Amino acid sequence: MHIHLTPRTFETIHFLIRKLAHGSEYLIFGLLLYHSFEPRHPEGWNARSAFGAVLVAGLYSLTDEYHQSFVPGRTASLVDCGIDTAGALFGMVLLYGGRRLHASNSKRVNR
């Protein structure tokens, strides 16, 4: 593929892909944390576990950004921490929505 981009367009696309990767990684991390807090009831919803998962993911993100401040060529960014935490929160929103959708479909089938 011979795609020609201006340097500014390339930088914008590169920036967006990196930020999307941050959010996606923490979405998955948040879901894994949630399921580690709720091993006995994997099909249910627990708001306390969801809050805990987002909190732990956000705190971990802060420590990761702090660590990056000591790595040559890297910088710490509270914006990245916010994106990471938002990714974990979005994971909980998707999980909650999926559980609600599944529950409503189950009720409809059982009628």
pTM: 0.85
Q: Containing H/E element for 38? A: none
Which of 99, 102, 32 shows the shortest CA–CA distance to 60?
32
Q: How confident is the model over 12-66, as pLDDT tens digits?
A: 999 999 999 989 999 999 999 999 987 777 677 899 999 999 999 999 999 999 9
Q: How confident is the model over 69-85, as pLDDT tens digits?
A: 999 999 999 999 999 99
> Are residues 106 and 44 in contact, defined by beta-carbon separation less than 8 angstroms?
no
